[in-house]
A and B are shown apart, each in its own frame.
Chain A
C-alpha cells in the first residue's frame, strides 16, 4: 500500500539556554493512508506541533525523515510541499489585507496565477462561506472567520494532504462545528487525506479514522478508536468532581478494596489553566469499574463516609480519554 505520509524515526532535539539538550520528539514513526483522517491526540506540550512541523518542513528533524506522497521532506522539500496544504495553529494571515488579497498572495506562491488563481480563490471563498466578506480586511473578522480563511489558504492548490494543527483553538462552538464539518467534507467530497492534531478527545473521536496518542514526544498508542479502547478493556469510568478538597491515598485504596467491580481509583488534584484568565479546574476522582452504573452508589457511599463533598458525578463508557488515562495515569487535559 502506498501511504500519503510515511514518517520514520523523527527526532527533534532543542538546546536549552544552559547548554543542555531537550528531546521534544523521541523517534516518532507513523504511516497515514490516502483518504483517511488521521489524528494526533495528546495534551499540550506532548510534541504534536513539533511532529507536524517536521512533517510539513517547517523545522528540520534532528534525526529521521518523512515522505509525503513518496517525496522526502528533507531532500525533496519543494515537491513534497506541493502536495500538502497546511493550516497552522496560529492565524497566519496578513491582518491589514483583505481575505481575497491574502488568498491571492498565498495562491501565487503555490504557483497559481491569472484566471486560474481567480477561479480557485472564488472556489475557496465559497467553500469557507466568506464570499460576501472577501474584500474586508482580515483584522475586522471574528475569530471563527479568521480560522476559516486560515483553512482556505491551505486548500487553494487542491492539495492531496491537509495538515490541520489544532484548528478549533479559541473559537466559539458554532465556528468549531463548521470547521469539523469542513474536515469531513475534505475527505468525503474532495478525497483529501487529513492529518489533524488536537488535545480534545471529542474531536479526535468524532473525526478520525485512526488516532495516534502522543505523550512526552512519543506515540504511546496508535489505531482505530475501537482498537484503542480495547486496550483498556470493557471498563467504565466514574468521574467525581470534588472541588478543592484533599483526597488521601487511603481513601482511594478503600474504594478499590471495598466496592465490587472497581479495579482502580485515581485522583487528579485541582489545577489552574493557563488560558481563559487562569480558571481553576476542580479536583477529580476517577474510578474504573467493570459495571460502572452498579458500582456508582457504593462509591458515593464510601466518599460520603469520608466526608467528601461531591459536586458532580459522571459515568463514561470506554473512550480515548480512558485510553490516555490508562496508559499514562493522567487525564488528557491541560
Chain B
C-alpha cells in the first residue's frame, strides 16, 4: 500500500506542478458551471419545480380535490395560475387571464411543462357516474417518461377508487333497510355471495374507468424553451462535474503515454515493486483527480444554494462509481493508444460526445426517445440518472443502486481489458 500511495502522491505532484492542469481542473469547470447554472434558471431555488398550467372550468370541491391529489402526489409540481408567487413564478402578466388557448400556447412555447383541464360539469358527471375526461396537454411523447402525467395518473387513480367505492356503496345502500332487526346477511353463504358481488362490481367499474385522461400532444412547437424545472444548477453542477471528470481522468491517458515516452513507466517496472502496485498507483491517481474535480464543481453548487437532496451518500456513491468507470475506460484505451496526439484526440472526442449524449449538457428528458435510448451507452447517462434521482426526486441510496451497479459493472470489464493489455513501454 505504501508504494501505491507513493506513486499516487508523486503523480499528483507532477500534475499540480503544471499550472495549466490546475487551471483546467478549477477555473474552466467553475466558470462553465456558473454560466450554465445561471443561464438555465439556476439561482437559489435548489428544488427543481415543474410549472404546470391547471385550468379548472368546473370550480367545484371535486375539481379542487384533483388539484389537491396532484400536490400530494408530487411536491415538485406547482400549478398556474393558482400557485403564482415569487418563488413559483407562473410567468403571467398582472392582468393576464389563463384561457384554454393561452395555456395551450404556453405548453407549445415550453413556458409550462403541461396543461391539465378540468372540464365544466366534472363534479356533476362524477356524481351521476357518467364518464368524464380530464384533458392533458404536453409536448412530451405519451410513451416517454413524463412526471406530470405520472402525477395525474396517480390522482386519477385516487379519484377513480373513490368513485368505485361510492358507486358500490350506493348500490348496497339501495337494498339496505336500517329499521329492520334482521341482519343483512342471513347466513355465511349469503355473506359470501354478497362479497363476491361487490368484488365483481368493483372490478367492472374500475375497468370502466369513470374518470379518464385525454392526452393531447402539442405537435406545433413554436419555440422550445428549456424548462426551469430540469435546468439550473441541479442540471449544470452534476452535468459539468461529469463532463470535466471525463476531461480530467481521461487526460490521464496523455500522462500515461508521456510516462511511456519519457521512460519513467519503464523505470518503475525495474524498481523492486510489483506491476500490480504500479497499476493501482496510477488508478488511484485518476480516481483522486476525478473526485477532486467533482468536489470543485459541487462546491459551486453549494455556494449557489443548490439542494442536493436528502441522500448525500447516494450522491457520493454515484460520483465514486462514475470516476471508477472513467478511470477504467482510460486504462482500456491505453492499450490501443501509442502517441500523445492520439491520446489528446481520443479523450477529447469521447468527452465531447459521451457527455452531451448522456445528458450532461442539457436535460436528457428534452431529447427524442430514440436519443434517450442511445444515451444509455454513455456512462454519463447513468451518472446523471443517479444524481437526478437524489437531487430532483428526493431519491435515496436504494434509488441510485441501478446506475451505480451499471457503472461499476462497466468498470470491471474495462479494467479487465486495460490491465490485460497494459503496455509499460
Binding site for B on A (CB under 8 A): 56-59, 78-79, 81-82, 84, 86, 88, 90-97, 101, 105-106, 108-111, 137, 153
Contacts and interface: CB of A to CB of B under 8 A. Distances in A.
B18 interface: yes
Interface of B: 3, 6-7, 10, 13-14, 17-18, 262-264, 266-274, 424-425
A109 B264 contact: no
A109 B14 contact: no
Contacts of A88: 263, 266-267, 270
B10 A94 contact: yes
A78 B262 contact: no
A93 B266 contact: no
Contacts of A56: 270
B425 A97 contact: no
A105 B10 contact: yes
A157 to B, nearest CB: 9
A287 to B, nearest CB: 42
B424 to A, nearest CB: 8
Given A58-B270, A78-B274, 13 more contacts: A57-B270, A58-B269, A78-B272, A86-B270, A90-B263, A94-B14, A94-B262, A97-B13, A101-B13, A105-B6, A109-B3, A109-B271, A109-B272
A106 B267 CA distance: 9
Contacts of A91: 262-263
Contacts of A86: 267, 270
A81 B271 contact: yes
A56 B264 CA distance: 15
Contacts of A95: 262
A91 B271 CA distance: 16
Nearest to A89: B263
A84 B14 CA distance: 26
Contacts of A78: 272-274
A200 B271 CA distance: 28
Contacts of B264: 92-94
In the complex, which of the residues A84, A86, A92, A106 has the most CB atoms of chain B within 10 Å of its own CB atom? A92
In the complex, which of the residues A56, A94, A111 has the most CB atoms of chain B within 10 Å of its own CB atom? A94
A109 B3 CA distance: 6
A95 B263 CA distance: 12
Contacts of B14: 94, 96-97
14 contacts: A58-B424, A58-B425, A79-B272, A82-B272, A88-B263, A88-B266, A88-B270, A90-B266, A92-B262, A92-B264, A96-B17, A106-B271, A109-B272, A110-B272
A92 B266 contact: yes
* A-B interface, 8 closest residue pairs, ranked by CB to CB distance from nearest: A90-B263, A92-B267, A92-B263, A96-B17, A81-B272, A109-B271, A82-B272, A105-B10
A95 to B, nearest CB: 7
A109 B268 contact: yes
Contact of B273 (A90, A94, A109): A109
Contacts of B263: 88, 90-92
Nearest to B10: A105
B270 A109 contact: no
Nearest to A83: B272
A59 to B, nearest CB: 8
B266 A58 contact: yes
A108 B10 CA distance: 11
A150 to B, nearest CB: 9
Contacts of A108: 6
A79 to B, nearest CB: 8
Given A96-B14, A96-B18, A97-B13, A90 B270 contact: no
A111 B272 contact: yes
